Amino acid sequence: MIEVRPAQRRGTAQFDWLFSRHTFSFGHYYDPQQIGFSDLRVINDDIVQPGKGFGTHPHRDMEIFTYVIDGSLEHKDSMGTGSVIKAGDVQIMSAGKGIAHSEFNHSQTELVHFLQIWLVPDKKGVPPRYQQTHFSQAEKQGQLRLIISPDNTDGSLSVYQDVRVYAGCFDGEEHAQLALAENRYAYVHVVRGTLTVAGTLLMEGDGARIRHERLITLQQGQNAEVLVFDLRAQDQSEE
């Protein structure tokens, strides 16, 4: 069963420096029907103006990962980490017992466009940690590349939860399949382009909750980029 979350129904927040679209309830946007899915709690699609960004703010007991689509994002945190995250990079921060960080557009002339995604951890109070790596276009083209897992499988980044996240790019005849265990759900987010997922056409920004399916087929992409989450079979996790 597939349940589409249309892009145009997402919540929005707009300031002079930020345009953000919220797949799930976040900040001033609240929809009781959109409180995440399984351990997936936030997907924010953010565009930040040159030189602007989010000042230092705290987090705890959340797995937060950033997927840069275009441009570059500068990160600093209370662990002393300083980095620039560029298109193709994936960064994950385990907030654990507490961390403060800031995120700014690294460019003074170009926009930065990125997804920030929150996952509920299976451990609380752990020491905070930071990871970042680059996944090339070739690794994702015409296939699903594992980018996040509980155990660093195939060079993926590690997360404190039974979640696996895949990134893929599809165009023309390219296609891929993802097999799910009997007790698993999936969530699909179309980063850009269009793509047919489990027989349903999804547009840029669309999402889809997938339940009670053992095999998901992705095909008929048009300049498509996608994230696929392999999740525990539950509709809302316990925090």
Q: What is the pLDDT of residue 77?
A: 86
Does the pLDDT value for residue 135 go beyond 90? yes
What is the pTM assigned to this prediction?
Answer: 0.96
Q: Which structural domains are found in the chain, ordered by start?
A: 2-232 (2.60.120.10)
- Is residue 67 predicted with pLDDT exceeding 50? yes
Is the separation of the CB atoms in 87 and 126 below 8 Å? no
CB atoms within 10 A of CB 86: 14
Instruction: Tell me the H-state helices in the chain.
Output: 137-140
The pLDDT of residue 236: 61
